[in-house]
Structure 1
Amino acid sequence: MSDPMRPRASLRTAVVWEVLQDALDRRVKATGRDSLDVLDTGGGSGKFAVPVARLGHRVTVVDPSPNALFALERRAAEAGVADRVRGVQGDVHGLFDVVERGGYDAVLCHGVLEYVDDPAEGVRNAVAALRSEGVLSVLAAGLGGAVLARALAGHFTEAQRALQDPQGRWGAGDPVPRRFTAEQLTALVEGVGLKVGAVHGVRVFADLVPGVLVDTEPGALDALLKLEAAAAELPAFHSVATQLHVLGETPGAAGA
Protein backbone atom coordinates (compact mmCIF):
# COMPACT_ATOMS: atom_id res chain seq x y z
CA MET A 1 0.00 0.00 0.00
CA SER A 2 1.29 3.44 -0.86
CA ASP A 3 1.36 6.15 1.75
CA PRO A 4 -0.14 9.39 0.42
CA MET A 5 1.20 11.46 3.29
CA ARG A 6 4.48 13.26 3.62
CA PRO A 7 7.33 11.02 4.81
CA ARG A 8 8.09 12.89 8.06
CA ALA A 9 4.42 13.14 8.97
CA SER A 10 4.02 9.43 8.27
CA LEU A 11 5.85 8.66 11.51
CA ARG A 12 2.72 9.85 13.29
CA THR A 13 0.12 8.45 10.93
CA ALA A 14 1.48 5.45 9.02
CA VAL A 15 0.16 2.70 11.32
CA VAL A 16 -3.34 4.18 11.49
CA TRP A 17 -3.42 4.85 7.77
CA GLU A 18 -2.52 1.27 6.88
CA VAL A 19 -5.23 -0.14 9.14
CA LEU A 20 -7.80 2.37 7.94
CA GLN A 21 -7.07 1.86 4.26
CA ASP A 22 -7.34 -1.90 4.65
CA ALA A 23 -10.69 -1.52 6.45
CA LEU A 24 -12.04 0.73 3.70
CA ASP A 25 -10.85 -1.69 1.01
CA ARG A 26 -12.72 -4.49 2.76
CA ARG A 27 -15.89 -2.41 2.94
CA VAL A 28 -15.63 -1.63 -0.79
CA LYS A 29 -15.46 -5.34 -1.56
CA ALA A 30 -18.28 -6.16 0.84
CA THR A 31 -20.63 -3.49 -0.49
CA GLY A 32 -19.77 -3.92 -4.15
CA ARG A 33 -19.58 -0.12 -4.47
CA ASP A 34 -16.59 1.77 -5.83
CA SER A 35 -16.85 4.53 -3.23
CA LEU A 36 -17.97 4.78 0.38
CA ASP A 37 -19.50 7.50 2.51
CA VAL A 38 -17.06 8.36 5.29
CA LEU A 39 -17.60 10.64 8.28
CA ASP A 40 -14.56 12.19 9.95
CA THR A 41 -15.65 13.72 13.23
CA GLY A 42 -13.04 16.08 14.62
CA GLY A 43 -11.25 15.77 11.29
CA GLY A 44 -9.77 19.26 11.42
CA SER A 45 -7.77 20.29 8.38
CA GLY A 46 -8.13 16.92 6.67
CA LYS A 47 -5.05 14.95 7.64
CA PHE A 48 -7.02 11.76 7.05
CA ALA A 49 -10.02 13.07 5.14
CA VAL A 50 -8.06 14.21 2.09
CA PRO A 51 -6.11 10.93 1.67
CA VAL A 52 -9.39 9.01 2.09
CA ALA A 53 -10.97 11.18 -0.62
CA ARG A 54 -7.98 10.45 -2.85
CA LEU A 55 -9.03 6.82 -2.71
CA GLY A 56 -12.30 7.86 -4.34
CA HIS A 57 -14.52 8.02 -1.26
CA ARG A 58 -16.89 10.83 -0.24
CA VAL A 59 -15.86 12.38 3.09
CA THR A 60 -17.80 14.63 5.44
CA VAL A 61 -15.66 16.35 8.07
CA VAL A 62 -17.29 17.67 11.24
CA ASP A 63 -15.13 20.03 13.29
CA PRO A 64 -15.86 22.90 15.69
CA SER A 65 -13.08 25.13 14.33
CA PRO A 66 -13.85 27.42 11.37
CA ASN A 67 -10.12 27.88 10.81
CA ALA A 68 -9.60 24.12 10.55
CA LEU A 69 -12.46 23.81 8.09
CA PHE A 70 -11.02 26.63 5.98
CA ALA A 71 -7.68 24.79 5.93
CA LEU A 72 -9.55 21.60 4.99
CA GLU A 73 -11.18 23.33 2.02
CA ARG A 74 -7.82 24.61 0.82
CA ARG A 75 -6.12 21.26 1.32
CA ALA A 76 -8.83 19.39 -0.54
CA ALA A 77 -8.65 21.84 -3.43
CA GLU A 78 -4.88 21.52 -3.68
CA ALA A 79 -5.24 17.72 -3.73
CA GLY A 80 -7.88 17.86 -6.44
CA VAL A 81 -10.60 16.25 -4.30
CA ALA A 82 -12.73 19.27 -3.39
CA ASP A 83 -15.76 17.62 -4.99
CA ARG A 84 -15.48 14.67 -2.58
CA VAL A 85 -14.82 16.52 0.68
CA ARG A 86 -17.43 18.48 2.63
CA GLY A 87 -16.73 20.34 5.86
CA VAL A 88 -19.40 21.27 8.40
CA GLN A 89 -19.03 23.02 11.73
CA GLY A 90 -20.07 20.95 14.74
CA ASP A 91 -18.89 18.36 17.25
CA VAL A 92 -19.51 14.76 18.19
CA HIS A 93 -21.98 15.61 20.99
CA GLY A 94 -24.20 17.59 18.60
CA LEU A 95 -23.38 15.36 15.65
CA PHE A 96 -26.91 14.87 14.38
CA ASP A 97 -27.55 18.57 14.24
CA VAL A 98 -25.29 18.61 11.17
CA VAL A 99 -25.23 15.05 9.71
CA GLU A 100 -27.70 12.23 9.30
CA ARG A 101 -27.97 9.13 11.43
CA GLY A 102 -27.06 5.84 9.83
CA GLY A 103 -25.65 7.41 6.70
CA TYR A 104 -22.01 6.32 6.66
CA ASP A 105 -19.99 3.23 5.86
CA ALA A 106 -17.11 4.34 8.07
CA VAL A 107 -16.69 6.85 10.87
CA LEU A 108 -13.37 8.28 12.01
CA CYS A 109 -13.16 9.52 15.60
CA HIS A 110 -9.56 10.65 15.88
CA GLY A 111 -8.28 12.92 18.63
CA VAL A 112 -11.81 13.53 19.91
CA LEU A 113 -12.46 11.40 22.98
CA GLU A 114 -9.66 13.09 24.95
CA TYR A 115 -11.52 16.39 24.83
CA VAL A 116 -15.24 15.63 25.09
CA ASP A 117 -17.16 15.74 28.35
CA ASP A 118 -18.53 12.22 27.91
CA PRO A 119 -16.40 9.82 25.83
CA ALA A 120 -19.04 7.08 26.00
CA GLU A 121 -21.65 9.40 24.49
CA GLY A 122 -19.15 10.43 21.82
CA VAL A 123 -18.65 6.80 20.82
CA ARG A 124 -22.41 6.14 20.87
CA ASN A 125 -23.01 9.05 18.51
CA ALA A 126 -20.21 7.96 16.20
CA VAL A 127 -21.70 4.47 15.99
CA ALA A 128 -25.21 5.85 15.45
CA ALA A 129 -23.88 7.54 12.32
CA LEU A 130 -22.91 4.16 10.86
CA ARG A 131 -24.99 2.12 8.49
CA SER A 132 -26.04 -1.35 9.64
CA GLU A 133 -22.69 -2.64 8.42
CA GLY A 134 -19.75 -0.33 8.97
CA VAL A 135 -16.47 0.37 10.69
CA LEU A 136 -15.42 2.81 13.41
CA SER A 137 -11.84 4.06 13.68
CA VAL A 138 -10.95 5.48 17.10
CA LEU A 139 -7.64 7.18 17.85
CA ALA A 140 -6.97 8.63 21.29
CA ALA A 141 -4.17 9.64 23.62
CA GLY A 142 -2.50 6.78 25.47
CA LEU A 143 -1.79 6.96 29.18
CA GLY A 144 1.48 5.03 29.17
CA GLY A 145 3.13 7.18 26.52
CA ALA A 146 2.50 10.33 28.56
CA VAL A 147 3.87 8.76 31.74
CA LEU A 148 6.99 7.60 29.93
CA ALA A 149 7.52 10.98 28.25
CA ARG A 150 7.29 12.89 31.55
CA ALA A 151 9.68 10.47 33.24
CA LEU A 152 12.25 10.64 30.44
CA ALA A 153 12.08 14.43 30.62
CA GLY A 154 12.99 14.24 34.31
CA HIS A 155 9.52 15.18 35.56
CA PHE A 156 9.15 12.18 37.82
CA THR A 157 6.47 13.61 40.11
CA GLU A 158 4.34 14.53 37.12
CA ALA A 159 4.84 11.07 35.66
CA GLN A 160 3.59 9.47 38.86
CA ARG A 161 0.67 11.88 39.03
CA ALA A 162 -0.42 10.93 35.50
CA LEU A 163 -0.09 7.26 36.35
CA GLN A 164 -2.38 7.63 39.36
CA ASP A 165 -4.81 10.24 38.07
CA PRO A 166 -8.21 8.84 36.92
CA GLN A 167 -7.99 10.94 33.76
CA GLY A 168 -4.29 10.32 33.16
CA ARG A 169 -3.33 13.98 33.64
CA TRP A 170 0.10 14.99 34.93
CA GLY A 171 -0.95 18.35 36.37
CA ALA A 172 -2.90 21.57 35.96
CA GLY A 173 -0.76 22.57 32.98
CA ASP A 174 -1.48 19.36 31.08
CA PRO A 175 -3.09 20.32 27.75
CA VAL A 176 -4.80 16.94 27.34
CA PRO A 177 -7.94 16.55 29.48
CA ARG A 178 -8.03 12.75 29.39
CA ARG A 179 -5.95 9.74 28.37
CA PHE A 180 -6.80 6.08 27.95
CA THR A 181 -5.38 2.63 28.37
CA ALA A 182 -5.96 0.08 25.60
CA GLU A 183 -8.41 -1.71 27.89
CA GLN A 184 -10.44 1.45 28.50
CA LEU A 185 -10.63 2.34 24.82
CA THR A 186 -11.55 -1.21 23.87
CA ALA A 187 -14.29 -1.26 26.50
CA LEU A 188 -15.80 1.94 25.07
CA VAL A 189 -15.98 0.40 21.60
CA GLU A 190 -17.30 -2.95 22.79
CA GLY A 191 -19.78 -1.17 25.05
CA VAL A 192 -21.73 0.06 22.02
CA GLY A 193 -22.01 -3.41 20.50
CA LEU A 194 -19.09 -3.31 18.09
CA LYS A 195 -16.56 -6.07 17.64
CA VAL A 196 -12.97 -4.93 18.07
CA GLY A 197 -11.17 -5.84 14.89
CA ALA A 198 -7.75 -4.49 15.81
CA VAL A 199 -5.88 -2.58 18.51
CA HIS A 200 -2.64 -0.79 17.70
CA GLY A 201 -0.12 1.26 19.61
CA VAL A 202 0.73 4.42 17.68
CA ARG A 203 3.94 6.42 18.02
CA VAL A 204 5.55 3.90 20.32
CA PHE A 205 9.06 5.14 19.47
CA ALA A 206 8.56 8.12 17.17
CA ASP A 207 8.07 10.69 19.94
CA LEU A 208 11.07 9.43 21.89
CA VAL A 209 13.63 9.44 19.07
CA PRO A 210 15.39 12.79 18.46
CA GLY A 211 14.13 14.33 15.23
CA VAL A 212 17.64 15.19 14.11
CA LEU A 213 18.54 11.51 14.15
CA VAL A 214 15.61 10.59 11.92
CA ASP A 215 16.26 13.47 9.53
CA THR A 216 20.02 13.05 9.13
CA GLU A 217 20.84 9.35 9.49
CA PRO A 218 20.56 7.53 6.12
CA GLY A 219 17.70 5.06 6.14
CA ALA A 220 16.64 6.00 9.68
CA LEU A 221 13.12 7.09 8.74
CA ASP A 222 12.30 3.88 6.87
CA ALA A 223 13.79 1.77 9.63
CA LEU A 224 11.81 3.61 12.29
CA LEU A 225 8.60 3.23 10.29
CA LYS A 226 9.19 -0.52 10.05
CA LEU A 227 9.90 -0.69 13.78
CA GLU A 228 6.68 1.20 14.56
CA ALA A 229 4.70 -1.17 12.34
CA ALA A 230 6.27 -4.25 13.95
CA ALA A 231 5.53 -3.04 17.48
CA ALA A 232 2.08 -1.61 16.84
CA GLU A 233 0.13 -4.86 17.14
CA LEU A 234 2.04 -6.25 20.12
CA PRO A 235 0.06 -5.77 23.35
CA ALA A 236 3.29 -5.33 25.30
CA PHE A 237 3.87 -2.01 23.53
CA HIS A 238 0.33 -0.68 23.86
CA SER A 239 1.12 0.42 27.38
CA VAL A 240 3.86 2.83 26.25
CA ALA A 241 2.30 4.19 23.05
CA THR A 242 1.62 7.90 22.72
CA GLN A 243 -1.68 7.09 21.04
CA LEU A 244 -3.93 4.06 20.81
CA HIS A 245 -5.96 3.04 17.77
CA VAL A 246 -8.98 0.76 17.97
CA LEU A 247 -10.90 -0.44 14.92
CA GLY A 248 -14.47 -1.44 15.70
CA GLU A 249 -16.82 -3.22 13.32
CA THR A 250 -20.57 -3.76 13.42
CA PRO A 251 -21.45 -7.45 13.74
CA GLY A 252 -22.50 -7.61 10.09
CA ALA A 253 -19.34 -5.92 8.83
CA ALA A 254 -17.16 -8.07 11.06
CA GLY A 255 -18.62 -11.17 9.45
CA ALA A 256 -18.33 -9.88 5.90
Structure 2
Amino acid sequence: MYPTRPRSSLRTAVVWEVLRSALERRAKELGRPVLDVLDTGGGTGNFAVPVARLGHRVTVVDPSPDALFALERRAAESGVTDLVRGLQGDTQTLADLVEPASVDAVLCHGVLEVVDDPAEALGQLTAGLRKGGVVSLLAANRNGAVLARAIAGHFAEARAMLDTTAGAPSTTGPSATATDAPTAAAWGGPPPRRFSVEELRALADAAGLRVASVHGVRIFADLVPGVLVDTEPGAVEALLALELAAAEQPAFHAVATQLHLLAELR
Protein backbone atom coordinates (compact mmCIF):
# COMPACT_ATOMS: atom_id res chain seq x y z
CA MET A 1 0.00 0.00 0.00
CA TYR A 2 1.42 3.34 -1.05
CA PRO A 3 0.22 6.66 0.36
CA THR A 4 -0.52 8.12 -3.07
CA ARG A 5 -1.72 7.14 -6.53
CA PRO A 6 0.49 4.98 -8.79
CA ARG A 7 2.11 7.80 -10.80
CA SER A 8 2.79 10.01 -7.79
CA SER A 9 3.87 7.00 -5.74
CA LEU A 10 7.21 7.34 -7.52
CA ARG A 11 7.79 10.41 -5.34
CA THR A 12 6.92 8.77 -2.03
CA ALA A 13 7.45 5.03 -2.41
CA VAL A 14 10.95 4.84 -0.93
CA VAL A 15 10.04 6.86 2.15
CA TRP A 16 6.82 4.95 2.63
CA GLU A 17 8.48 1.53 2.45
CA VAL A 18 11.16 2.54 4.96
CA LEU A 19 8.65 4.19 7.29
CA ARG A 20 6.14 1.35 7.21
CA SER A 21 8.82 -1.21 8.03
CA ALA A 22 10.22 0.97 10.82
CA LEU A 23 6.81 1.39 12.45
CA GLU A 24 6.20 -2.34 12.23
CA ARG A 25 9.54 -3.07 13.89
CA ARG A 26 8.96 -0.50 16.62
CA ALA A 27 5.51 -1.90 17.40
CA LYS A 28 7.00 -5.38 17.78
CA GLU A 29 9.79 -4.05 20.02
CA LEU A 30 7.26 -2.37 22.30
CA GLY A 31 4.90 -5.32 22.25
CA ARG A 32 1.86 -3.24 21.28
CA PRO A 33 0.21 -2.81 17.88
CA VAL A 34 -0.66 0.89 18.17
CA LEU A 35 2.00 3.59 18.15
CA ASP A 36 1.68 7.31 18.87
CA VAL A 37 3.03 9.17 15.83
CA LEU A 38 3.74 12.90 15.43
CA ASP A 39 3.73 14.30 11.90
CA THR A 40 5.21 17.80 11.83
CA GLY A 41 4.23 19.91 8.84
CA GLY A 42 2.08 16.99 7.75
CA GLY A 43 -0.24 19.23 5.80
CA THR A 44 -3.15 17.41 4.19
CA GLY A 45 -2.12 13.98 5.49
CA ASN A 46 -0.14 12.52 2.62
CA PHE A 47 1.61 10.28 5.13
CA ALA A 48 -0.50 10.75 8.25
CA VAL A 49 -3.60 9.11 6.84
CA PRO A 50 -1.83 6.01 5.48
CA VAL A 51 -0.02 5.66 8.83
CA ALA A 52 -3.40 5.85 10.58
CA ARG A 53 -4.72 3.19 8.21
CA LEU A 54 -2.04 0.92 9.64
CA GLY A 55 -3.79 1.38 12.98
CA HIS A 56 -1.56 3.99 14.61
CA ARG A 57 -2.64 7.22 16.32
CA VAL A 58 -1.30 10.25 14.43
CA THR A 59 -1.07 13.87 15.54
CA VAL A 60 -0.43 16.33 12.71
CA VAL A 61 1.00 19.74 13.63
CA ASP A 62 0.84 22.23 10.78
CA PRO A 63 0.57 26.04 10.62
CA SER A 64 -2.04 26.04 7.85
CA PRO A 65 -5.72 25.84 8.86
CA ASP A 66 -6.65 25.05 5.26
CA ALA A 67 -4.30 22.07 5.23
CA LEU A 68 -5.69 20.82 8.53
CA PHE A 69 -9.22 21.10 7.17
CA ALA A 70 -8.20 19.02 4.15
CA LEU A 71 -6.54 16.55 6.53
CA GLU A 72 -9.78 16.17 8.45
CA ARG A 73 -11.71 15.52 5.25
CA ARG A 74 -9.12 13.03 3.99
CA ALA A 75 -9.14 11.15 7.29
CA ALA A 76 -12.92 10.94 7.19
CA GLU A 77 -12.88 9.60 3.64
CA SER A 78 -10.40 6.91 4.72
CA GLY A 79 -12.37 5.99 7.83
CA VAL A 80 -9.62 6.94 10.29
CA THR A 81 -11.07 10.07 11.88
CA ASP A 82 -10.70 8.58 15.34
CA LEU A 83 -6.96 8.02 14.78
CA VAL A 84 -5.96 11.37 13.27
CA ARG A 85 -5.76 14.65 15.18
CA GLY A 86 -4.78 17.96 13.61
CA LEU A 87 -3.26 20.82 15.61
CA GLN A 88 -2.33 24.25 14.29
CA GLY A 89 1.24 25.18 15.17
CA ASP A 90 4.89 24.90 14.19
CA THR A 91 8.17 23.73 15.67
CA GLN A 92 8.40 26.81 17.88
CA THR A 93 5.05 26.07 19.53
CA LEU A 94 5.47 22.29 19.57
CA ALA A 95 6.32 22.16 23.27
CA ASP A 96 2.89 23.64 24.03
CA LEU A 97 1.12 21.07 21.88
CA VAL A 98 2.95 17.81 22.51
CA GLU A 99 3.98 16.42 25.88
CA PRO A 100 7.68 15.54 26.32
CA ALA A 101 8.53 11.88 25.70
CA SER A 102 4.96 11.12 24.61
CA VAL A 103 5.30 9.76 21.06
CA ASP A 104 6.88 6.68 19.53
CA ALA A 105 7.71 8.13 16.12
CA VAL A 106 8.16 11.54 14.50
CA LEU A 107 7.76 12.41 10.82
CA CYS A 108 9.76 15.47 9.79
CA HIS A 109 9.24 15.79 6.05
CA GLY A 110 10.06 19.02 4.23
CA VAL A 111 10.34 21.03 7.45
CA LEU A 112 14.04 21.66 8.07
CA GLU A 113 14.26 23.49 4.75
CA VAL A 114 12.01 26.31 5.92
CA VAL A 115 12.45 26.78 9.67
CA ASP A 116 14.63 29.54 11.11
CA ASP A 117 17.02 27.14 12.84
CA PRO A 118 17.10 23.47 11.69
CA ALA A 119 19.09 22.33 14.73
CA GLU A 120 16.69 23.95 17.17
CA ALA A 121 13.68 22.63 15.27
CA LEU A 122 14.97 19.06 15.27
CA GLY A 123 15.69 19.36 18.96
CA GLN A 124 12.09 20.43 19.57
CA LEU A 125 10.84 17.44 17.62
CA THR A 126 12.97 14.88 19.43
CA ALA A 127 11.91 16.29 22.80
CA GLY A 128 8.54 14.68 22.20
CA LEU A 129 10.05 11.25 21.53
CA ARG A 130 10.20 8.36 23.95
CA LYS A 131 13.61 6.72 24.26
CA GLY A 132 14.25 4.48 21.27
CA GLY A 133 11.64 6.38 19.28
CA VAL A 134 11.86 6.59 15.50
CA VAL A 135 12.45 9.71 13.39
CA SER A 136 11.69 9.82 9.67
CA LEU A 137 13.63 12.81 8.34
CA LEU A 138 13.13 13.93 4.73
CA ALA A 139 14.90 16.98 3.32
CA ALA A 140 15.88 18.50 -0.02
CA ASN A 141 19.27 17.43 -1.36
CA ARG A 142 21.48 20.32 -2.47
CA ASN A 143 23.56 18.22 -4.89
CA GLY A 144 20.46 16.84 -6.56
CA ALA A 145 19.04 20.35 -6.91
CA VAL A 146 22.26 21.51 -8.57
CA LEU A 147 21.98 18.67 -11.10
CA ALA A 148 18.32 19.41 -11.79
CA ARG A 149 19.03 23.12 -12.38
CA ALA A 150 21.91 22.32 -14.70
CA ILE A 151 19.88 19.82 -16.76
CA ALA A 152 17.14 22.44 -17.10
CA GLY A 153 19.69 24.90 -18.48
CA HIS A 154 19.73 27.19 -15.43
CA PHE A 155 23.50 27.18 -15.11
CA ALA A 156 23.88 30.36 -13.04
CA GLU A 157 21.33 29.08 -10.53
CA ALA A 158 23.12 25.74 -10.38
CA ARG A 159 26.45 27.45 -9.70
CA ALA A 160 24.98 29.65 -6.99
CA MET A 161 23.41 26.64 -5.33
CA LEU A 162 26.66 24.70 -5.59
CA ASP A 163 28.47 27.47 -3.73
CA THR A 164 25.92 27.64 -0.90
CA THR A 165 27.54 26.96 2.45
CA ALA A 166 26.41 24.10 4.65
CA GLY A 167 22.85 24.51 5.87
CA ALA A 168 22.52 28.06 4.55
CA PRO A 169 19.28 29.25 2.98
CA SER A 170 19.01 28.93 -0.78
CA THR A 171 18.59 32.01 -2.93
CA THR A 172 17.41 30.23 -6.07
CA GLY A 173 13.71 29.83 -5.58
CA PRO A 174 11.29 27.23 -4.22
CA SER A 175 12.38 24.18 -2.30
CA ALA A 176 12.75 20.95 -4.22
CA THR A 177 10.21 19.45 -1.79
CA ALA A 178 7.52 22.03 -2.43
CA THR A 179 5.20 19.59 -4.18
CA ASP A 180 5.50 17.06 -1.35
CA ALA A 181 5.01 19.59 1.43
CA PRO A 182 2.46 22.05 0.01
CA THR A 183 2.19 23.95 3.28
CA ALA A 184 5.91 24.26 3.88
CA ALA A 185 5.99 27.94 2.97
CA ALA A 186 3.53 28.63 5.75
CA TRP A 187 6.16 27.69 8.30
CA GLY A 188 7.86 31.01 7.56
CA GLY A 189 11.57 31.59 8.08
CA PRO A 190 14.32 32.09 5.51
CA PRO A 191 14.28 30.90 1.88
CA PRO A 192 14.33 27.09 1.55
CA ARG A 193 17.53 25.28 2.49
CA ARG A 194 19.02 22.20 0.93
CA PHE A 195 21.30 19.72 2.65
CA SER A 196 23.94 17.07 2.09
CA VAL A 197 23.94 13.68 3.78
CA GLU A 198 26.77 14.81 6.05
CA GLU A 199 24.87 17.92 7.15
CA LEU A 200 21.75 15.94 7.96
CA ARG A 201 23.77 13.36 9.87
CA ALA A 202 25.37 16.14 11.91
CA LEU A 203 21.96 17.62 12.74
CA ALA A 204 20.64 14.22 13.77
CA ASP A 205 23.67 13.53 15.95
CA ALA A 206 23.35 16.90 17.70
CA ALA A 207 19.71 16.10 18.46
CA GLY A 208 20.68 12.84 20.17
CA LEU A 209 19.68 10.60 17.29
CA ARG A 210 21.40 7.53 15.90
CA VAL A 211 21.05 7.29 12.12
CA ALA A 212 19.99 3.79 11.13
CA SER A 213 19.76 4.23 7.36
CA VAL A 214 20.04 6.79 4.56
CA HIS A 215 18.07 6.61 1.33
CA GLY A 216 18.06 8.67 -1.82
CA VAL A 217 14.55 9.71 -2.86
CA ARG A 218 13.46 10.52 -6.41
CA ILE A 219 16.80 9.55 -7.91
CA PHE A 220 15.39 8.95 -11.38
CA ALA A 221 11.75 9.97 -11.15
CA ASP A 222 12.43 13.69 -11.55
CA LEU A 223 14.87 13.18 -14.43
CA VAL A 224 12.91 10.77 -16.62
CA PRO A 225 10.52 12.57 -19.02
CA GLY A 226 6.94 12.11 -17.89
CA VAL A 227 5.81 11.03 -21.35
CA LEU A 228 7.97 7.92 -21.10
CA VAL A 229 6.41 6.93 -17.81
CA ASP A 230 2.84 7.76 -18.74
CA THR A 231 2.74 6.10 -22.17
CA GLU A 232 4.89 2.98 -21.87
CA PRO A 233 3.03 -0.05 -20.43
CA GLY A 234 4.54 -1.13 -17.12
CA ALA A 235 6.86 1.88 -16.99
CA VAL A 236 5.63 3.14 -13.63
CA GLU A 237 6.21 -0.23 -12.00
CA ALA A 238 9.62 -0.64 -13.60
CA LEU A 239 10.76 2.85 -12.60
CA LEU A 240 9.44 2.30 -9.10
CA ALA A 241 11.44 -0.92 -8.81
CA LEU A 242 14.54 0.95 -10.00
CA GLU A 243 14.01 3.72 -7.45
CA LEU A 244 13.69 1.22 -4.61
CA ALA A 245 16.77 -0.71 -5.73
CA ALA A 246 18.98 2.39 -6.01
CA ALA A 247 17.73 4.18 -2.90
CA GLU A 248 20.10 2.45 -0.48
CA GLN A 249 23.20 2.77 -2.65
CA PRO A 250 25.35 5.73 -1.49
CA ALA A 251 26.64 6.31 -5.00
CA PHE A 252 23.18 7.54 -6.02
CA HIS A 253 22.53 9.73 -2.98
CA ALA A 254 24.34 12.67 -4.55
CA VAL A 255 21.86 12.93 -7.42
CA ALA A 256 18.64 12.29 -5.50
CA THR A 257 16.12 15.11 -5.25
CA GLN A 258 15.64 14.36 -1.57
CA LEU A 259 17.45 12.55 1.21
CA HIS A 260 15.70 10.37 3.76
CA LEU A 261 17.26 9.49 7.08
CA LEU A 262 15.72 6.98 9.47
CA ALA A 263 17.01 7.51 12.99
CA GLU A 264 16.18 6.61 16.56
CA LEU A 265 16.55 8.48 19.85
CA ARG A 266 19.55 7.25 21.78
Normalised TM-score (structure 1): 0.94
Post-superposition, which runs of at least 4 consecutive aligned residues in structure 1 deviate over 4 A? Answer: none
**2:243: which partner in 1?**
228
How do residues 159-170 of structure 1 correspond to structure 2 at under 5 angstroms? 159-166=158-165, 167=168, 169=170
**1:254: which partner in 2?**
none
**2:22: which partner in 1?**
23
Report deviation, 1:169: 2.6
5+ residue gaps, structure 2, are 176-191
How do residues 119-134 of structure 1 correspond to structure 2 at under 5 angstroms? 119-134=118-133
**1:215: which partner in 2?**
230
**2:65: which partner in 1?**
66
Are the counterparts in 1 of residues 143 and 254 from structure 2 also a CA contact under 8 Å?
yes
CA displacement 1:32-65 (0-9 Å, x = unmatched): 1110000000000000000000000000000000
In structure 1, C-alpha distance between the alignment counterparts of 2:198 and 2:92, rounded to whole Å? 23
Paired amino acid for 1:197: A
CA displacement 1:56-111 (0-9 Å, x = unmatched): 00000000000100000000000000110000000012211222111100000000
In structure 2, C-alpha distance between the alignment counterparts of 1:229 and 1:187, rounded to whole Å? 25
Normalised TM-score (structure 2): 0.91
Report deviation, 1:3: 2.6
Report deviation, 1:250: 2.1
5+ residue gaps, structure 1, are 252-256
**1:206: which partner in 2?**
221
Are the counterparts in 1 of residues 19 and 136 from structure 2 also a CA contact under 8 Å?
yes
How do residues 67-216 of structure 1 correspond to structure 2 at under 5 angstroms? 67-166=66-165, 167=168, 169=170, 171=172, 174-176=173-175, 177-216=192-231
Paired amino acid for 1:139: L
1:8 counterpart SS class: coil
Are the counterparts in 1 of residues 3 and 16 from structure 2 also a CA contact under 8 Å?
no
In structure 1, C-alpha distance between the alignment counterparts of 2:28 and 2:97, rounded to whole Å? 29
Output the aligned Cα RMSD.
1.1
CA displacement 1:126-152 (0-9 Å, x = unmatched): 111101221111001110111011100
Paired amino acid for 2:47: F
Aligned residues: 248
Are the counterparts in 2 of residues 162 and 168 from structure 1 also a CA contact under 8 Å?
no
**1:3: which partner in 2?**
2
In structure 2, C-alpha distance between the alignment counterparts of 1:4 and 1:237, rounded to whole Å? 24
Report deviation, 1:234: 0.9
1:87 counterpart SS class: strand
1:7 counterpart SS class: coil
Percent of residue pairs identical: 68
